[in-house]
């Protein structure tokens, strides 16, 4: 690993971006450096990414990131009226908690941007939980700018796995791997607690390109001549399958045709891995339980339990399509 001492010193001293939570923390390990480290040399790519929803898949809750109405806004579900409000610049919801009784909970993070946004609340044991009352971020004219419950009519209460305090709404286990970079769940089965860490609370450059430290070291050494391969450049993954490829329309079918057949499935694989959180590392503690998957606003699917390195993720997406997603 060519991560320089200088780089380590830099990252060790950096203030965690998600300082809002004491237990869910930023950590740079395994050669991850963070997207801002790529900006100097890949400015246009960085700017395009920074304006994208990949960069905003999860954000610290603040005036910029929170889209919903928190001006003492009320929403009633299953006989409980929840109130969304701010206090000292922080965001709160008064709603039914793990014991079923109403209490004030601070919103630490936003999750997603549009067409809907969810909110994350911390519960004991290092858990972040996704509140079931979501914000419809679409314009008013399209029926948006309002709250709604993700499980209308189900009257969920504390104790139900689908209630926001339940295991199915647990961010560490169910959501984080697709929305963050270098997610390490770090579940301690003995204590029943999470010590989850991540390098970036969004889908950063390295979620797709892999850890960047070796590439930075290569680029900073200013090597003479053109690199002969991506590995030469210190990059773990070559996302080059589409180099020189065009898709030309075929009049007879109305479909586009690839100029040359695809010789590997690396890009789809990376995409699948990033989406499905397959990047298991020896330092990650995974809960031994089948994995459900969810694509965006589509509901949970029943299948997709594989944990091997095979490319069942595509089958998984196909499965979801078959499920009507
Ligand atoms: C100090 C400058 C520098 C920094 C910082 C940097 N890169 Fe690069 N990067 C380069 C250079 C130089 C190339 C080679 C360009 C060429 O010759 O085509 C390159 C090429 C790449 C490529 C293209 C590889 C290919 O397929 O040809 C990717 C992907 C890439 N960088 C990703 C990243 C990521 C992700 C980061 C942040 C972790 C990053 N770079 C940070 C200088 C840098
Ligand atoms: C969601 C996955 C994903 C993310 C996030 C991502 N990339 Fe890429 N990147 C790719 C893929 C896939 C390609 C290959 C593109 C192609 O073949 O058209 C690529 C290509 C590149 C290239 C080489 C080709 C080019 O257009 O210059 C560079 C450099 C690069 N990315 C840098 C970055 C940087 C820097 C970031 C963060 C600011 C980033 N990428 C974020 C998936 C991603
Ligand atoms: C298998 C990967 C994956 C998992 C797991 C996942 N998401 Fe997502 N999520 C995505 C992708 C990809 C998008 C953006 C694409 C889209 O809009 O459909 C997204 C978008 C969202 C959005 C924005 C609205 C939307 O539909 O685009 C919200 C809110 C969201 N996810 C919440 C969650 C919550 C809460 C969990 C856990 C209970 C979760 N996600 C788990 C991949 C995932």
Secondary structure of residue 60 in the 3-state scheme: strand
The residue-averaged pLDDT of 196-200 equals 93
- The size of the chain, in residues, is 325
Closest residue CA from atom 1 of ligand 2: 208
Which atom of ligand 1 is nearest to 213's Cα?
38
Question: What phi, psi does 31 have (nearest 5°)?
Answer: 85, 10
In tens, the pLDDT along 154-173 reads 999 999 999 999 999 999 99
Which of 110, 112, 119, 292 for a ligand 3 pocket mutation test, highest count of atoms within 8 Å of Cβ? 112
Task: Decide: 156 and 132 in contact? Cβ < 8 Å.
Answer: yes
Confidence label for 137 from pLDDT (cuts 50, 70 and 90): very high
Q: Which of 22-26, 127-131, 182-186, 316-320 has the lowest mean pLDDT?
A: 316-320
Whole-prediction pTM value? Answer: 0.81
In tens, the pLDDT along 169-197 reads 999 999 998 899 999 999 999 998 999 99
Which one is predicted more confidently, 38 or 226? 38
Sign of dihedral through CA atoms 121, 16, 273, 290? negative
Q: pLDDT value at position 318? A: 34
> What is the CA(215)–ligand 1 centre distance, in A?
7
Which one is predicted more confidently, 59 or 238? 59
Q: pLDDT value at position 289? A: 25
Tell me the DSSP string of 260-275. S-----HHHHHHHHHH
Q: Which is nearest to 115 in space by CA: 297, 299, 295, 275?
A: 297
The pLDDT > 90 percentage for the chain reads 57
The residue-averaged pLDDT of 2-30 equals 50
Secondary structure of residue 219 in the 3-state scheme: helix
Q: pLDDT value at position 228? A: 82
Burial (CB count <10 Å: 0-12, 13-18, 19+), residue 134: buried
Mean pLDDT of the chain: 79
> What is the CA(42)–ligand 1 centre distance, in A?
7
In order of 167, 298, 308, the CA distances from 129 in angstroms are 8, 18, 27
Tell me the DSSP string of 300-324. --S-----SSSSHHHHHHHHHHHTT
> What is the CA(206)–ligand 1 centre distance, in A?
11
Q: pLDDT value at position 273? A: 54
Which atom of ligand 2 is nearest to 267's Cα?
12
**Is 109 a pocket residue for ligand 2 (Cβ < 6 Å)?**
no
> Over 90: is that where the pLDDT of 290 sits?
no
* Ligand 3 pocket list (CB less than 6 A): 111-112, 115-118, 130, 169, 174-175, 178-179, 275-276, 293-297
> Over 50: is that where the pLDDT of 205 sits?
yes
Domain ranges of the chain: 59-179, 263-325
The residue to which tokens 């960069």 are assigned: 55
């Amino acid at each position: 690993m060519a991560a320089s001492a200088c780089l380590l010193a830099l990252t060790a001293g950096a203030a965690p971006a998600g300082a809002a939570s004491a237990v869910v923390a930023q950590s740079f390990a395994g050669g991850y450096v963070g997207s801002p480290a790529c900006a100097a040399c890949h400015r246009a790519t960085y700017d395009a990414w920074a304006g994208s929803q990949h960069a905003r898949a999860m954000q610290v809750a603040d005036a910029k990131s929170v889209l919903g109405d928190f001006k003492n806004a009320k929403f009633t579900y299953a006989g409980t009226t929840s109130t969304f409000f701010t206090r000292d610049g922080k965001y709160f919801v008064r709603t039914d908690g793990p014991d079923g009784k109403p209490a004030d909970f601070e919103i630490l993070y936003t999750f997603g941007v549009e067409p809907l946004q969810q909110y994350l609340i911390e519960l004991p044991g290092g858990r972040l939980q996704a509140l079931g009352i979501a914000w419809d971020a679409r314009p008013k004219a399209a029926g948006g700018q309002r709250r709604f419950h993700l499980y209308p009519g189900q009257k969920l209460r504390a104790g139900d796995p689908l209630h926001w305090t339940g295991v199915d709404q647990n961010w560490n286990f169910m959501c984080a791997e697709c929305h963050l970079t270098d997610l390490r769940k770090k579940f301690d089965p003995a204590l029943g607690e999470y010590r989850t860490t991540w390098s970036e609370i969004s889908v950063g450059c390295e979620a797709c390109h892999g850890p960047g430290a070796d590439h930075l070291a290569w680029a900073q050494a200013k090597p003479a001549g053109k690199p002969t391969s991506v590995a030469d450049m210190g990059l773990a993954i070559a996302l080059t399958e589409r180099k020189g490829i065009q898709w030309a329309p075929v009049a007879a079918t109305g479909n586009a045709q690839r100029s040359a057949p695809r010789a590997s499935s690396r890009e789809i694989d990376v995409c699948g891995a990033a989406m499905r959180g397959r990047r298991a590392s020896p330092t990650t503690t995974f809960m031994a339980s089948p994995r459900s998957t969810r694509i965006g606003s589509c509901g949970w699917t029943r299948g997709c339990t594989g944990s091997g390195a095979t490319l069942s993720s595509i089958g998984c997406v196909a499965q979801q399509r078959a499920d009507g997603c």
